[in-house]
Structure formats: C-alpha cells, structure tokens
A and B are shown apart, each in its own frame.
Chain A
C-alpha cells in the first residue's frame, strides 16, 4: 500500500531559526515527489518537485532533498519568517499504466514561527 509519512506533526520555532521537515514514503513505482505549502484556509501551493534523478532542489529559502534509495525526503527552511507559518505537505506520485499518476499525500507538518 502506498503511504507517505511526515514528521514531526507540528513544530514551533523562533523567527530567524532554521528547521527541517521529514518525509518517508513507500510509493511504487516512484514518479516524483513534491512539497507543498498550505496556508490556513487556502489551497496548497507547490514549493518544489523532484524526480528520481534529482537529489536536491531549492526555491528561495526552501531546499528539498530526496534519497530515492532510502525513500526519504526532507524540506529545509532557512532563516524562518513569520509568513512561513503553514502546513507543509509531502506528496508522492506513482506512475500507473497508460501514463497516469496516482498521488499520495502525507498528513503534513504544521509549522508555527513565533517572534
């Protein structure tokens, strides 16, 4: 069964500090892994997307890593800002026959940045 597990469930950090969120998955056959940011009451917004051959990708202060061997990904946030307070969701896609993709969502990590 395809699963995506994220840790921690929630995290509180001081403004300006760094943090790392984890994502472990058992999705097969792997197609891609995406990190989304979801502000309260809004739709998720894509931060990064990585395929099998990519092991790191940055988007501003966000850096995602992927280890396809251990099936782990992390999202590192540098110099956190109050606006980083949100849920961060790891999403893994499996390739189905016919070129379709099956998407499995993690339950997210709720990050709160405090002044």
Chain B
C-alpha cells in the first residue's frame, strides 16, 4: 500500500503560467487536505475535499486557486497566473472515511510535497 503520492516533487513556473499539483491519496482514503508551507513557516490549511465535494475551502485564496478531487483520479490543486509569492511547498494529506463518531482518532498521512518555484 503506497503512501500519499504527490507529483511533481519540484515544479518551476514562470510568472503568469499555470501550475497543476497532483495528489494521489492512500488506497481506501476518500478525504484529501491541501496545505501550503512558505519557507521557514508552518503549514497553512488551504482546502479539505472528499470525492467530488469540497468540504472546507476557508484557507484557499479567493482568486487564481482551485482544487478538485474527482470520482476517478488524483486530487488536483491548480494555480492560475502564478506569481512569485506562490513559491512554496504544497503538501497533501489523506485520511480514510470518517465515521459518524466525532471523537474518532482518524489518522491523516502526508505526501512528500511539491516544491513550486515561480521565476
């Protein structure tokens, strides 16, 4: 059972281009979280998705950023018209379906991240 797979590991884009980051969750996991980490800073929540649904996007910038998790295939974080300030490490985590018990100790596993550099 492979872990959370993110690709590419490193991505270089010129200002104004589009960046697409992919995240394949662990087998059996239907929940995906995206986080951004600026150099020397902590992880910042961006978006929480279930298959075909956005559960919480309160951390997503209002413009240029979008995320999806289709029924088939990986979750995609898309950044349009990238700017230098988008340079960061983007991490994806996945977790299994969460039951109705709100105190579940569901584990979330992280991928190794995609390092986006905008030049």
* Chain A positions near chain B (C-beta within 8 angstroms): 29-32, 34, 36, 42-46, 49-53, 87, 89, 93, 95-96, 99-108
Interchain residue pairs A-B with the least CB separation, the first 10: A95-B102, A107-B42, A43-B110, A43-B112, A99-B100, A51-B105, A105-B43, A108-B42, A44-B110, A99-B98
Instruction: List residues of chain A with CB within 8 A of the CB of B50.
Output: 100
Q: Quick check: is B1 within 8 A (CB to CB) of the other chain?
A: no
In the complex the two chains form, is A45's CB within 8 Å of B110's CB? Answer: yes
Q: Tell me the bound Cα distance from A45 to B102 in angstroms.
A: 23
Given A100-B48, A102-B56, does the pair A46, B109 have CB atoms closer than 8 Å?
Answer: yes
Number of interface residues of B (CB under 8 A): 32
Whether the Cβ atoms of A32 and B106 lie closer than 8 Å is: yes
**A44 contacts B91, C-beta separation under 8 Å:** yes
Which B residues are closer than 8 A to A by beta carbons?
4, 31, 33, 35, 41-45, 48, 50, 55-56, 91, 93, 95, 98-113
Q: Assuming A43-B112, A89-B43, A108-B42, is B33 touching A103 (CB within 8 A)?
A: yes
Of all chain A residues, which has the CB nearest B112? A43
Q: Once the chains bind, are A104 and B45 in contact (CB under 8 Å)?
A: yes
| A53 partner residues in chain B, CB cutoff 8 A | 103
- Knowing A99-B100, A100-B48 are in contact, say whether A42-B112 is a contact too (CB < 8 A): yes
Of all chain A residues, the one with the shortest Cβ separation from B58 is A102
